[in-house]
Amino acid sequence: MIILLCSSLLQGSAQEQAPLQVDRDNIRLSFSLDGEGSPRYAVLYKGHQLIAPSRQGFVLAEDSLFYKGFTITGTERKSVNETWEPVWGEERNIRNSYEQLTVHLKQQNAPGRLLDIVFRVFADGVGFRYEFPQQSGLKYFVVKDELTEFHLTGDHTVFWIPGDYDSNEYAYTTSRLSEVNNSRIVQAAADIAVRTVPDPFAVQTPLMLKTGNNIYINIHEAALINYPAMQLHVDGASHQLSARLVPDAVGNKAYLHSPCTTPWRTIIISDKATDILASRIILNLNEAPSATDFSWVRPMKFVGVWWEMQTGKSTWNYADDAARGKDDVLQPNGRHGANTANVKRYIDFAAANGIQGVLVEGWNTGWEDWFGNWKEDVFDFITPYPDFNVKEIEQYAASKGVQMIMHNETSGAATNYERQLDTAFRFMNAFGYHAVKTGYVGRIIPRGEHHDGQWMVNHYERVARKGLQYRVMIDAHEPPRPTGLQRTYPNWMASEAGRGNEYNAFSNGNAPDHETILPFTRLMGGPMDYTPGIFKLRHYAPHAPDRTVHTTLAKQLALYVTIYSPLQMVADLPENYEAHPDAFRFIREVPVDWDDTRIIAAEPGDYITIARKEKGKHNWFLGAITDENARTAAVPLSFLDKGKQYRAVIYADAPGADWKTNPEAYRIYEMVVDGNSTLTLQLAASGGAAVSFYPL
Ligand code: NOJ
Ligand code: CA
């Protein structure tokens, strides 16, 4: 629902003098053409120049100079102030309020090609995109390069991962801009299946920056549709960032047909880190959904026959050797996780604990040779292994009021998946699956394409649409990092597209500050299937006895609040929860859909405290996490309803807790609090605290 409160349109004249300016609160956006007729924009915040005049434009196959020789033929301005209600999310109402400037450009030389640049200036930042009007001089065209630059004005601190065409699953590095060089990191990242990083100075977005005078800047994009993902090349000497689009198999970037638009380029700005996390610019720059009935889209928590494979206790594959021919019978290895009895055990556990969903991986044939072969037809999405009884599981889950979640791993063969998409979704409809986790581990087929290129961007959107058609919710693993498309596709609920908790299962894991950086980077674009909730933090991987999760148990609880997802996994094994029934109560009770969110304290790389109010209820939940440093979080509870008293249940690190030496030490205590109280939480090294508040 959209309520338009105020909107005005003013027509500018062709003679309007450059620079054009838009002011909104602390932000000034200016635009001009330089002496060569090249578009330039700049951004001021509280009088500080944060983006010095920066280039805009393109190299097209049809016009290698589509960045100069322009004149301004007209401008339009409008103000928008509206609120809208997401289907699910971090709050019930989202305010969208901005000043818009559209600049109409025309090239002087024949055929006089047209380009519009649209700026939206919000109280907390700027978005702009290119629009290619319908025109005979530019109908079908090929983008060779987008020349957008972000000319920063200092050697800022930057939180970054390498600009990889195929993966967002790197650990973050914190450095100065001038120190960015990803070569050693990429080389060492053997735990990432596919790495394609030709530019040692390229980084991914969302890119989080902090200036020397404590201004926070976040650069990303919104509404990535029919276009490749944007990465940024860092020039350490000039502090200039330049767009680098992920190429296709023949080196082109995008194939377009006017009229059309690019994604929005976003710059979120504040002198408070908490405002960066509270910004809704990226969601606001995405389109509202075209359908209206999303009653079938239901946020939920789920358990899964999954962590046991990740940690090596059981296997996805049924046999140890692949079948050699059609008639070759697979020899069971005796360790197959997705067997009917084991699945029922998870269904029982979910039902007993009010957890709505059960994911099962490794249920369909093909896992004997799925990985690393660049093979096209590894999987179909309807043939179970002999020990997985689809019908029996469907009936058992239904009898317990639990929903099964489908798993479709494509092993990167998007072509194979597309051919079978209708069959796969019909199978889900037939056997009661309302959600699917997809996966794209491995090199992409069509061969030569990349996970983050235009072809795959379109593929992921096709799958989201297929989900709309069949009423199936999507959780996409290995896609490009999200850009707010959950607004347009409310059934595309979550994505991985980052380094999840699973790296703690099969590799050296995630550093203690990882989860304090993710909300400022990966999560800026949308929900992450991070898979929190690991309780057994040591001795969980039989073949790697020294492996540990790099957090305390209380921090794993806090992640249910600090990392937002409407599909939130309860990732550990049932027996590990059964060993801690008191701590597990928080996971049982924490919701996944919210009326309100307050970012109470945050500093990228150091700490985060967030409070959220349950959708349709008066309960609040709070999560506080810290990096490798123990700290005290003093939390004013002013978000609670005035005059009401609440019972607060606090799940905290116990004295002596420490992620390295004593991670599973927690204590649970209760207090009566109100809006005037301040909670003092002691967070251990890589620790955290989770709190639930119930009105008395
Ligand atoms: C990678 C996914 O991120 C992970 O969760 C899944 O278990 C494997 N692929 C297998 O599909
Ligand atoms: Ca830190």
> Residues 550-606: pLDDT tens digits?
999 999 999 999 999 999 999 999 999 999 999 999 999 999 999 999 999 999 999
Q: Give the distance (Å) from ligand 2 centre to CA of residue 513.
A: 6
Cα distance between the two ends of the chain: 34
Say what the alpha-carbon torsion angle 64, 67, 70, 74 is, to the nearest 10 degrees. 130
- Tokens at residue 268, please? 């979120």
Average pLDDT of the residues in 617-633: 98
Query: Ligand 1 pocket, 301 CB below 6 A?
Result: no
Query: Ligand 1 pocket, 441 CB below 6 A?
Result: yes
Q: Can you give the pTM of this predicted structure?
A: 0.97
For residue 409, the ligand 1 atom closest to its alpha carbon is 11
Which pLDDT does position 8 carry in this prediction?
37
For residue 310, the ligand 1 atom closest to its alpha carbon is 7
Query: Ligand 1 pocket, 260 CB below 6 A?
Result: no
CA distance readout (Å), 89 to 315, 356, 529: 34, 18, 14
Return the percentage of the chain with pLDDT > 90, whole number: 96
Asked if residue 452 has pLDDT above 60, the reply is: yes
Judged on CB neighbours under 10 Å (0-12, 13-18, 19+), 303 is buried
For residue 477, the ligand 1 atom closest to its alpha carbon is 3
Query: Ligand 1 pocket, 124 CB below 6 A?
Result: no
Average pLDDT of the residues in 350-361: 98
Q: Give the distance (Å) from ligand 2 centre to CA of residue 194.
A: 29
Which pLDDT does position 518 carry in this prediction?
98
Report the candidate in 346, 396, 338 with the shortest Cα–Cα distance to residue 577: 346
3-state secondary structure (DSSP) of residue 159? strand
Q: Give the distance (Å) from ligand 2 centre to CA of residue 149.
A: 29
Work out whether the CA dihedral 268, 273, 275, 279 comes out positive or negative.
positive
Average pLDDT of the residues in 663-671: 98
Strand-strand pairing, 567-569 and 666-673 = unpaired
Which pLDDT does position 152 carry in this prediction?
98
Asked if residue 2 has pLDDT above 60, the reply is: no
Which pLDDT does position 325 carry in this prediction?
80
The CA distance from 326 to 62, in Å, is: 50
Q: What's the pLDDT tens digit per position in 257-292?
A: 999 999 999 999 999 999 999 999 999 999 999 988
Work out whether the CA dihedral 555, 557, 562, 567 comes out positive or negative.
positive
Query: Ligand 1 pocket, 409 CB below 6 A?
Result: yes
Which pLDDT does position 327 carry in this prediction?
82
Query: Ligand 1 pocket, 193 CB below 6 A?
Result: no
Q: Give the distance (Å) from ligand 1 centre to CA of residue 464.
A: 19
Residues 6+ apart with CB under 8 A from 686: 512, 550, 551, 552, 555, 626, 627, 628, 658, 659
Based on the residue annotation, tell me whether 179 is a catalytic residue of this protein: no
Which pLDDT does position 291 carry in this prediction?
82
Which pLDDT does position 17 carry in this prediction?
57
Which pLDDT does position 12 carry in this prediction?
40
Strand-strand pairing, 567-569 and 300-305 = parallel
| Maximum distance among all Cα pairs of the chain, rounded to whole angstroms | 78
Query: Ligand 1 pocket, 529 CB below 6 A?
Result: no
Q: Give the distance (Å) from ligand 1 centre to CA of residue 406.
A: 13
- Closest CA to ligand 1's atom 6: 439
Average pLDDT of the residues in 302-306: 98
The CA distance from 312 to 543, in Å, is: 7
Which ligand has the nearest atom to the CA of 498?
1
Asked if residue 11 has pLDDT above 80, the reply is: no
Q: Determine which one of 308, 502, 515, 614 is catalytic.
A: 502
Which pLDDT does position 15 carry in this prediction?
39
Residues 6+ apart with CB under 8 A from 262: 129, 130, 131, 146, 227
Report the candidate in 598, 589, 687, 672 with the shortest Cα–Cα distance to residue 635: 598
